[in-house]
Amino acid sequence: MSGKKLTCFKCGQVNRVPFDKLMAEPKCGTCGTGLMTGGVPEVDLATLEKAARTDDVPIVVDFWAPWCGPCRQMAPQFQAAASDLKPQARLVKLNTEDHPNAGAKFRIRGIPTMAAFSNGKERARQSGAMPSSAIVSWVKASV
């Protein structure tokens, strides 16, 4: 069966979605969560690692923390970019306050920092708050 592998950001199950169904709001076969919603779900380190390693659709993660003013300022811009980039990429957020090991593992020196993953590897990294148009341009150039 052909299609794209997508990790469910809620339960961690890997799903295979036919190419023609990517824009049709595919759902996880295990828990029913939307896989390609254009939203920005929160993920933990284990789910991020699995998705970055497994998924056929690029993943862009925003490493952030609730106390970070620029992070909060960029959140609606990141959300708008997620909607614009569907189905080319899936955007997620990882709270470095809740998951400090993620910051160490990915050598995050400052937040907000975005990292783009494709074909199991980190392809690009960008620090600092950006408007949605710049996020979209950066993602398209990176993955």
Q: Could you read off the pLDDT of 90-136 as tens digits, one per residue? A: 999 999 999 999 988 999 999 999 999 998 999 999 999 999 999 99
The answer to whether the pTM exceeds 0.75 is yes
38-142 maps to which CATH number?
Answer: 3.40.30.10
Q: Is 31 labeled as catalytic in the residue annotation?
A: no
Q: Is 8 labeled as catalytic in the residue annotation?
A: no
20 versus 99: the higher-pLDDT residue is 99
Catalytic residue among 8, 11, 31, 68: 68
Structure tokens belonging to residue 51: 């998705």
